[in-house]
Amino acid sequence: MTETSYYDAVGGHETFVQLARVFYEQVAEDPEMRPMYPDADLAEAEVRLRMFLEQYWGGPTTYHEQRGHPRLRMRHAPFDVTPRMRDHWVAHMRVAVDSLQLSPELEEPLWDYLTRAATFMINRPDEEPPAHRQNLFLTDSD
């Protein structure tokens, strides 16, 4: 008996094309998130996201063949991925996932992964603490 991959169960390539396309349509309109993507055209970022998700969910390994190991945290390190930016990302991905109209059984693992991954990517606080709070235990005489 052959087990169907998640990739195939959700509709394969076309499903991930739609997911990435709808997500980046949202990003393109977000004045806070759009600056995180320096290229004028979001097409390359869209393709990278699609390839990564396809590979993760049991589809083609094109991402690895073209870009190597995902190293998600390393690749996102140059960007300020704050809790606020995570919330923007999740909100746009929610629209994209909803556009797929998946059954709850298929949506749940996808959504769970996406929200956990978004939280894992946080690499900076929303704002730096004021300098005077960094040394709370120091006195003027120290």
Q: What is the mean pLDDT of the chain?
A: 83
- Give me the numbers of helices (H) and strands (E) for the chain, helices first please: 8, 0
Q: How far apart are CA 42 and CA 33, in angstroms?
A: 12
Query: Which helix (H) or strand (E) covers residue 13, if one does?
Result: helix 13-28
pTM above 0.85, yes or no: no
**Per CATH, which fold does 8-125 belong to?**
Globin-like (1.10.490)
Q: Please say if the pLDDT value at position 131 is more than 90.
A: no
pLDDT of the residue at 65: 64
Q: State pLDDT tens for residues 63-122.
A: 776 666 656 655 555 667 789 988 999 999 999 999 999 999 999 999 999 999 999 988
Q: Name the 3-class secondary structure at 107.
A: helix
pLDDT of the residue at 22: 98
More confident residue, 93 or 125: 93
Domain ranges in the chain are 8-125
